[in-house]
Chain A
Amino acid sequence: MQERYQMMLEMIQARLLEKKRGMDFFIDALFRNILRAYDPELPTVYVSGYAFPMELLWAFDVTPFDFEIACNNLPEVMTGNGSGLMLESEKRGYSRNICSFDRLIIGCLHQGILPKGDLFLTSSYYCHGKAKTNEVVAAHYGMESVLLDVPNEISPAAITYVATQLRNIAAKLEAVTGTKLDPARLKESIHRSNQARASLLTICDWMKRRPCPWNGVEACLLGLGGALFWGSPVRIEIHRLLLTQILERVEKGKTIPEDYRILWFPWVPVQNTNIFKILKENCANVVMAEASFVFWPELDENRPFESLAMKALLDPHVGKAERRIQNLVQSIDDYQIDGAIHFSTTSCYHENTAFPIIRDAIKKKGVPLLNLSGDMSDERNYSAAETNIRISAFMELLAG
C-alpha cells in the first residue's frame, strides 16, 4: 500500500505544483495521512472518518487511518481490478454477499499491506459491516476493536450514552498517546470544525447557481473521504482553495455546460465506471450529493462531548430515513434539481432497505428518479452496458 500511495502522491504533487486546487490539496493531504500511518513516530488509530466525530482525534497527537478510504482508493480498485484483492478475503470464507468495501479491507489485511494500528475505533453507523470488519482487522493484530454505538433516537438519554462513550474513547486515546486530553486543544479542534462547516455552507450556496460552478461528484468524494479532516486545519484549507476556484470560475464564466441538474445519493462508486462520462455527454451535471450535506448545527465548543455526540446522532444514516427525505426533498428545491440518481450498491443493506421510502418521497415531489444498481468497488458486480442503457433511458425521460 505504501508504494502505491507514494507513487500516487508524487503524481498529485506534480499537479499541485502547476496549480493549487482544492481537490488536489485534499487528495495530497489524504495520501500523506495514509503514508504517515506507517510511520511509528505517532500512534496509528484506525477509524472511518465519515462515521466518527473526528474532532476528538485531532485533539491528540495520533495519525487517524481511514482503513475504508485507504483500501478503496488503491489503484487496483480505481482501475476496475479490485476483485483481485477481494479474492484474498473470499478464499478465507468471506462471502461475496458481504459489502465489497469490507471484503477489500480484509483482502488487504491478508495481503499484509495494512499498517499496524495502535487503536481500532469504529462506529455502529452507517452500517454494521464496517464495525465487523474493524473487529476482524483488530483481532488480526491481537487488539480490541472499540465501538462507538450510536442509537437511532435523539433524546437526552441517547446523548448521554454517546457522550459517555466518547469520553471513554478519549481515555483510550490518552492511553495510546501517553498524554492527557488538553481541553483547550479539543476546543480548538471544534472551533476549526465550525469554521470549516461555515465555509462548506458557503460552497453549498454557490452550488445552487446555474450553471453549477463546482461538481457534486467531487463534493461527494470530499464529503466521505474528507470527513477524516473535520477538526483539522486541512479541512479549512481545502474549502478556502475550493472557494477560490469557484469564484474564479464564476468570474470567468468557466463552468461546464448544464442542461440537466442532477442530485446524487447516497454516494458515488469508487471504481472507475462509465457513469459520469455518459452524464457529461448528455450535459447532465451532478450539482449536489447527499454525502456533502451539512446536517449538523454549529458545535458547542464548551460542551465538546455532548455536541460531538449530537453530531453523530444527527448523521442522516443513523436515524430514520425521514430525516434523509427532508434533506433530499429540500435540496431538490434549493438546487433546482431536474432528476435524481440513487446509486444502489450490492450488499448495502441499510441503504437498500431505506430506499423504497425515499423513492416514494422523491416521486411524490415529481422529480424523475433513476435507481442505478452497481457496486462501490467490485467490478464483477458492475455492468457498463447495462448502465449505459439505463442512463440513456433516464436522459430521454429528462428530455421529456
Chain B
Amino acid sequence: MNEQLTIAPRRIGWFCSYVPEEIILAAGCEPVRLEGRVERFQEIDSYLHANLCFTIRNIFESGLRKQYDDLDAVIFANSCDGMRRLYELWSHYIQTPAAYFLEIPKNRDENGISFFSSQLLNLKNQLEEDFAVSITAERLVQAGLQMNERRGKMLELFERQKASPLPYKGSELHTLAIQEGRLPKRDMYPEIQSVLEKPVPVQPVGKAAPRLLVSGNEGTTPTLFRLIENSNADVVLFDTCRGLNHYTGMVSMGNDPIQSIARRYLFKPACARMPGSAQRMERLAALIDEYAIDGVVYSGVQFCDYTLFESALIEPFLKARSLPVLVVENDYIWSNTEQIRTRIEAFVEMTQNKRRTA
C-alpha cells in the first residue's frame, strides 16, 4: 500500500490556461486539467446567485459533491472575479484537497513578468513544502522541454488544418486537446504522435464544406463541434484556451527557469481576461486569413463577463469585414442544444450561400 502511494504520482488539478504545468511536472506530480463534473445542479443555489458564470457554478457544485477527491491539490488562478472568489469558497466550504491561488498579472510587461515570477516561485515553494520534493532548476528545465515538445506536436496538428480538404475533424482535435489536458502526460504523448502519423483522410472533390473557426469558450464537450459538423460545415480551428491559444508559444529557457516560464505564459496570445481587445481582433483577422476561414462561431458561457464584452466587439469587427459571425451562449453542459442547433444550421446555410455568391 505504502509502496503504491510512493509510486503513483500525486495529481494536481488546474483550471486556467495561465497555470504552468511545468511547475507541477517538476514537482514530480501529474497535472490534471479540471472541469466541472456535474450534469445537473443540486446544491449550488443555496450558495450562489443564479446569475453567476456556469463554469464557476459547476466547479463549485462538483467540489461540494466531492467530485475532486481523486486529486491531491488544486491550483486556482485569478482568471476572473468569479474564479478568485471560487478559491475562497473552496477554502471555506470544501477545504480538501489542498488549494493554491495563483495571481495572473494583467499587465503584460517586465513589471508583470517580475511579479508573476514571484508568484510562480511561491507556488514552487509551497509544492516543495507540501509534497516534500525539491524542484530544482534542472527539473524545471526538463519540464519546460517536455511541455515544449508536447506543444510542438499539438501546434503541428493545428498547422495542418490550414490545408484543404481538412485533415482532421474539429471535434476530434478538440477531444484530443481535452484529453491532453486531462490525462497523464506519458499516456497522451503516443496518442498525439499516432494522430500525427495517421494518414490524412482525403475528402471527395467538390464536397468542401464551409470552413469555420470557433472562438470564445467552447466548453469541455465536443457538442458545439458536432452541431457544426452535423450541419455540413467544418471546424477548422478553435482558438480558445483549450485550443490553439493554449498551445501557442514555447518556453525559451534562460538562466532563470522560473522567469522563463513566467515569460512564456504571460506573453502567450492573450485571452479575453487580459486587456487588449484590439490585439485579439488583429490576431483573429490573421487566423481567418491563414486558415481560409469562411465564418466564425463565437461561444460564451452564460454570465461570463469577459466573453459577453468580447462578443459585442467581435461581431461588428467581423461584420465590417463581411465575414459571417454567430454568437452563441452555452450553459457549460450544453443543455440548450436544440436552440443552438437551429441557429447553427441557419448560420451554416448562410455561410454556404455567401461562399457560392463569392
Bound together, the chains give a CA A147 to CA B274 distance in angstroms of: 10
Residues from chain A with Cβ under 8 Å of B114 in the complex = 157, 160-161
Residues 106-124 of B contacting A (Cβ, < 8 Å): 106-107, 111-112, 114-115, 118-119
Contact A92 B312 (CB under 8 A): yes
- Chain B CB within 8 A of A131 CB: yes
Residues 296-354 of B contacting A (Cβ, < 8 Å): 302-303, 305-306, 308-309, 311-313, 315-316, 327
Closest Cβ–Cβ distance, residue B282 to chain A (whole Å): 13
* Given known contacts A136-B313, A355-B49, A357-B88, A161 and B106 CB-to-CB distance under 8 angstroms: no
Interface residue stretch chosen among B13-21, B74-82, B219-227: B74-82
Contact A94 B309 (CB under 8 A): yes
Residues from chain A with Cβ under 8 Å of B103 in the complex = 151-153, 158
The one of A89, A157, A352 in contact with B49, judged by C-beta atoms closer than 8 angstroms, is A352
Contact A321 B85 (CB under 8 A): yes
Residues from chain B with Cβ under 8 Å of A145 in the complex = 275
Bound together, the chains give a CA A124 to CA B273 distance in angstroms of: 11
Contact A93 B316 (CB under 8 A): yes
Contact B81 A350 (CB under 8 A): yes
Contact A132 B303 (CB under 8 A): no
Contact B88 A128 (CB under 8 A): no
Interface residue stretch chosen among A18-26, A49-57, A242-250, A341-349: A341-349
Bound together, the chains give a CA A139 to CA B112 distance in angstroms of: 23
Contact B306 A139 (CB under 8 A): no
Bound together, the chains give a CA A98 to CA B309 distance in angstroms of: 8
Contact B309 A352 (CB under 8 A): no
- Chain A CB within 8 A of B84 CB: yes
Taken residue by residue from 152 to 195, chain A's Cβ proximity to chain B (1 for < 8 Å, 0 otherwise) reads as: 11010110110011001000000000000000000000000000
Residues 4-63 of B contacting A (Cβ, < 8 Å): 47-49, 51-53, 56
Residues from chain B with Cβ under 8 Å of A354 in the complex = 85, 88
Bound together, the chains give a CA A145 to CA B274 distance in angstroms of: 12
* Given known contacts A128-B80, A153-B103, A352-B51, A135 and B89 CB-to-CB distance under 8 angstroms: no
The one of B88, B106, B306, B313 in contact with A149, judged by C-beta atoms closer than 8 angstroms, is B106
* Given known contacts A131-B275, A152-B84, A353 and B107 CB-to-CB distance under 8 angstroms: no
Contact B81 A127 (CB under 8 A): yes
CB closest chain-A residue, reference B313:
A136
Q: What is the interface size of chain A, counting residues whose CB is below 8 A from a CB of the partner? A: 47
Contact A147 B107 (CB under 8 A): yes
* Given known contacts A93-B327, A152-B101, A165-B111, A353 and B78 CB-to-CB distance under 8 angstroms: no
- Give the tally of cross-chain contacts (CB within 8 A): 127
- Chain B CB within 8 A of A75 CB: no
Residues from chain B with Cβ under 8 Å of A152 in the complex = 78, 84, 101, 103
- Chain B CB within 8 A of A95 CB: yes
Closest Cβ–Cβ distance, residue A103 to chain B (whole Å): 10
* Given known contacts A129-B305, A136-B309, A346 and B316 CB-to-CB distance under 8 angstroms: no
Contact A132 B81 (CB under 8 A): no
Contact B48 A353 (CB under 8 A): yes
Bound together, the chains give a CA A329 to CA B53 distance in angstroms of: 28
Bound together, the chains give a CA A320 to CA B312 distance in angstroms of: 31
Bound together, the chains give a CA A147 to CA B277 distance in angstroms of: 13
* Given known contacts A139-B278, A153-B103, A157-B118, A350 and B312 CB-to-CB distance under 8 angstroms: no
Closest Cβ–Cβ distance, residue B285 to chain A (whole Å): 16
CB closest chain-B residue, reference A373:
B49
Taken residue by residue from 114 to 158, chain A's Cβ proximity to chain B (1 for < 8 Å, 0 otherwise) reads as: 000000000010011101110110010000010101011101011
Residues from chain B with Cβ under 8 Å of A147 in the complex = 106-107, 275
Contact A356 B48 (CB under 8 A): yes
Contact A95 B312 (CB under 8 A): yes
Contact B111 A353 (CB under 8 A): no
Residues from chain A with Cβ under 8 Å of B119 in the complex = 157
The one of A97, A133, A350 in contact with B85, judged by C-beta atoms closer than 8 angstroms, is A350
* Given known contacts A127-B81, A135-B275, A349-B82, A161 and B48 CB-to-CB distance under 8 angstroms: no
13 of the cross-chain contacts (CB-CB < 8 Å) are A93-B312, A93-B315, A93-B327, A97-B303, A124-B106, A132-B306, A145-B275, A152-B101, A165-B111, A347-B305, A349-B85, A353-B49, A353-B86
Interface residues of B (CB under 8 A from A): 47-49, 51-53, 56, 78, 80-82, 84-86, 88-89, 92-93, 101, 103, 105-107, 111-112, 114-115, 118-119, 273, 275, 277-278, 302-303, 305-306, 308-309, 311-313, 315-316, 327
Other contacts beyond A165-B111, A347-B305: 9, CB < 8 A: A128-B273, A149-B107, A152-B84, A164-B111, A349-B52, A349-B53, A349-B82, A350-B81, A352-B49
The 8 tightest CB contacts between A and B, nearest first, are: A353-B85, A350-B81, A93-B312, A352-B49, A157-B118, A161-B115, A149-B106, A132-B309
